[in-house]
Amino acid sequence: MGKYKFERRYHTDNHQAQRGLEQRDYNDVWGDVPIGEAHARGSLNGQRPMARDRSDYDWRLGIAQTFLDLCL
């Protein structure tokens, strides 16, 4: 992993916000698509940050939006 550079985009220790923010970033780049479609378009991730059928999917995205509204 030493050859990769990672940029920290958000500073929160709230796990729910982290997952929502990660999914928002994924959606911004690839759209809210299955991982196979993202792979076909160039994604190197092995999976989506959150499964679309999770019961808390929209809730976590809402927490991420609240974080962005209040903290940025």
Residue 20 lies in a domain: no
Residue 53 lies in a domain: yes
Token pair 């916000």 is found at 17
Residue 33 lies in a domain: yes
Mean pLDDT of the 56-63 span: 96
Residue 15 lies in a domain: no
Amino acid in position 52: R
Residue 67 lies in a domain: yes
Number of domains present in the structure of the chain: 1
Residue 19 lies in a domain: no
**CB of 12 closer than 8 Å to CB of 71:** yes
Which pLDDT value is given to residue 55?
96
Give the whole-angstrom CA distance, residue 36 versus residue 40.
Answer: 6
In this predicted structure, the answer to whether residue 1 has a pLDDT above a threshold of 90 is no
Q: What is the pLDDT of residues 11-57, one digit of tens each?
A: 999 999 999 999 999 999 999 999 999 999 999 888 899 999 999 99
Token pair 């160039």 is found at 42
Residue 58 lies in a domain: yes
Identify the domain containing residue 52 by its residue range.
28-71
The SS3 call for residue 57 is: helix
- What pTM, to 2 d.p., does this model score? 0.84
Residue 34 lies in a domain: yes
